[in-house]
Structure 1
């Protein structure tokens, strides 16, 4: 009698290449920008539509100008990620009237077995209307404690770690103060000092939240990268 085919080993580890891991991290950043803009009410809820990703219903902007702006950012971010040039990405929400940062989402990137280099953060200057601003900054990345590469994981395990971060971002509305007034956003990228920088990207200060609160959120890792998440915010008067 014929034997049945063996069950597929669903726990098989698929090791991502450095390039594949870099693409995964860049894609995570893209969805992070959309999710934060939605959850923090930077743009109206009706400007977003749902897509399925990471086993979740993710909200992404359907505004053509905002989508084009984020796509432009991601085009350069993809190249820097694949080249191992990024140590940090920061999304800063600022008050439109005062220009002061009121909330700062920081994603620290560690590339395993990559020698450390001096870095500067960069941001694109073109802005759509309503204007999310884009800057860049000369800034040294925060020192990180070197760690060994994590144990290899299945693709589903990595996806689950990413999904857990987005659940935390969604749940953050329970402790983050409601944003007052009209707000916009900046995307800062800390790139190696020897990175090729497009002319439309310029230097910027770090846009730190002075005397603000800080909450460490979850992170995720692949065999090549680790990403840790931190949100800083200003308490409302």
Structure 2
């Protein structure tokens, strides 16, 4: 789906096993750019070293943001939510899910916003914006 530019958002949801309460919700918005006839990005090209550095920066920022989150003391599980365009057909053994939002969520990061952009990563035609939505 990513290579075909059908993936719009990927969300990692961490929930308590017993209560199913959503404890953390990590959202990654995917934006694609126009491609030329050869399947290449028509607006810019990046070298592999720069791509790896940007990916490393994103992972470092996610890791640093985890220090602000409370420890998860109860056993938890995770779900991965995939958001695609309406025309995309999901595999037959997949089930539709709710958005798994956090009840009474409070954002403790910059400027009292509920959701904070951690980093914008652009790799050729794919732009990933990582967001944190937390309790």
Q: Per the shorter chain, which TM-score range?
A: 0.7 to 0.9
**Whole-angstrom distance in 1 between the partners of 2:131 and 2:21:** 19
Select the structure that is richer in strand.
Answer: 2
TM-score by length of 2: 0.81
1:189 & 1:171 partners in 2: Cα distance?
25
Q: Could you say which structure has the higher helix fraction? A: 1
Please, what TM-score do these two structures have when normalized by structure 1? 0.48
Bigger relative CO (Cα 8 Å, ≥ 6 apart): 2
Q: Report the CA distance between 1:86 and its aligned residue.
A: 0.8
Higher radius of gyration, 1 or 2: 1
C-alpha RMSD over aligned residues: 1.7
In structure 1, distance between residues paired with 2:104 and 2:134:
9
Kindly state the Cα deviation for residue 172 of structure 1 after the two structures are TM-superposed: 2.0
Structure 1: runs of 5 or more not aligned: 1-79, 115-148
Select the residue among 80, 103, 110 that pairs with 2:24: 103
Partner of 2:70: 177
Offset of residue 113 of structure 1: 2.6
Structure 2's unaligned 5+ residue stretches are: 36-41, 108-114
**Count of matched residue pairs:** 121
